[in-house]
């Protein structure tokens, strides 16, 4: 589930970032990057200094609570971590290519509709 969320977030982030990059000038992008780096630095510092409290609050997930697919992914990641990582990368690439193709189809459709009007 985490990989899926990261892939979907990455795909959406790339599309939004590309559109914002076209509209914002270079000084605005520099400020945006500085703010992003500041937020990441604060997040890393928070995890570093408060890691003990975070570990205490971690909830243990029992394998009996997981469904078949979740158990398969858990066992796959533990038994064959290299292939799990390779599969995750290939899954991310395929979803990215698929999203780009879908975006191109919608963009071409939008252009055709605008030309008709």
pLDDT of residue 115: 82
pTM, whole model, 2 decimals? 0.45
Q: Comparing C-alpha atoms, which of 86, 83, 91 is closest to residue 75?
A: 83
Task: Return the pLDDT at 9.
Answer: 85
pLDDT digits (tens, 9 = 90+) for 11-62: 888 888 888 778 878 787 788 888 888 988 888 877 777 766 656 555 566 6
CB within 8 A of 76, min separation 6: which ones? 83, 84, 87
Contact (Cβ atoms closer than 8 angstroms) between residue 19 and residue 103: no
């Amino acid at each position: 589930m985490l990989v899926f969320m990261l892939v979907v977030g990455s795909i959406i982030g790339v599309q939004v970032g590309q559109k914002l990059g076209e509209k914002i000038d270079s000084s605005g992008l520099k400020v945006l990057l500085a703010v992003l780096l500041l937020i990441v630095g604060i997040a890393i510092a928070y995890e570093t200094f408060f890691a003990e409290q975070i570990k205490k609050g971690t909830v243990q997930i029992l394998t009996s609570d997981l469904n078949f697919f979740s158990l398969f992914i858990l066992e796959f990641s533990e038994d064959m971590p290299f292939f799990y990582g390779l599969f995750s990368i290939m899954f991310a690439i395929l979803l990215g290519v698929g999203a780009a193709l879908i975006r191109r189809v919608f963009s071409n459709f939008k252009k055709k509709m605008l030309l008709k009007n």
